[in-house]
Amino acid sequence: MSPARQRRSGARTARVSPPARIAIIVGTRPEAIKLAPVIHELRRRPGAFAVRVIATSQHRELLVQALAEFGITPDRDLDLMEPGQSLGRFAARCLEAVTKVLVAEQPDMVLVQGDTATVTTSAMAAAYLGIPVGHVEAGLRSHDISNPFPEELNRKIAGSIATMHFAPTSLSRRNLLDEGVPADRIVLSGNTIVDAVRSLDLSASLPPELADLDHEQTIVLTTHRRENHGTPLARICEAVRRLV
């Protein structure tokens, strides 16, 4: 067979790999904000990735609001929020519901972010089905299982399950290495909250009295942890006062 015919024959028989199916599971507003840049970046590569966004709605209105801010609509909404729901009940319902969805979706990988009950139970559901788990914002540690609670517990469980660990800082990477995670399974990715903030026009949401601020000198600060109540919050405010 001539070289030209060989090339033509090879072209006819070559197969194009289908895009990797990625299930991104979000439950709370922080997860939505920090995974939004990841969702958009993966969707910019449709030939490489087929993305499905699954919402557990651990937060209800707050999750919808955050996703809408980034122009994201969940492909599936499990609607697991119940008034007065205990952590145990939510975790049990989430594990069962996410398992059913993953069986139906058959993803090649599950991506989760952070340290919520959604993260832990989704990672467990994927692991039980033999699906690799990618953990965004991996390696955060207080080394105190009761503080913050249950976040420290959640992220340690997720970390013990994850296949790939996307660490935001070198300290987070070191924590994972100290726990025995192989270096080739850790990616020093930076914190996706930076990408999220940069993608939004924050000035559009400022009240009129703040519209004339020099945005190059604006600090974005969140202090939502309940562990910050009391003295820790006072210390944070004092630190901000010194900075400004």
CA distances from 186 to 27, 50, 137, 182, 191 (A): 24, 23, 11, 7, 14
Select the more confidently predicted residue: 216 or 98: 98
Mean pLDDT is lowest, of 23-27, 53-57, 63-67, 217-221, for 217-221
Residue 224 and residue 226: Cα distance in Å, rounded? 6
Dump pLDDT digits (tens) for 146-175.
888 899 999 999 999 999 999 999 999 999
Rounded to two decimals, the pTM is 0.83
Categorise residue 18: left if φ over 0, alpha if ψ from -120 to 50, beta otherwise.
Answer: beta
CA distances from 218 to 192, 204, 221 (A): 19, 14, 10
From 56, 148, 102, 232, select the one nearest 156 (Cα to Cα): 148
Task: Give me the sign of the Cα torsion angle 85, 88, 94, 97.
Answer: negative
**Mean pLDDT of all residues in the chain?**
90
The CATH number corresponding to 17-200 among 3.40.50.150, 3.40.50.620, 3.40.50.2000, 1.10.240.10 equals: 3.40.50.2000
pLDDT at position 228, please? 80
Residue 84 and residue 111: Cα distance in Å, rounded? 28
Dump pLDDT digits (tens) for 124-151.
999 999 999 999 999 999 999 988 889 9
Q: Are 79 and 57 in contact (CB under 8 A)?
A: yes
Instruction: Give me the count of residues in the chain.
Output: 244
Q: Domain-by-domain residue ranges, the chain?
A: 17-200, 205-244
Count of alpha carbons within 13 angstroms of residue 205, beta-carbon side: 6
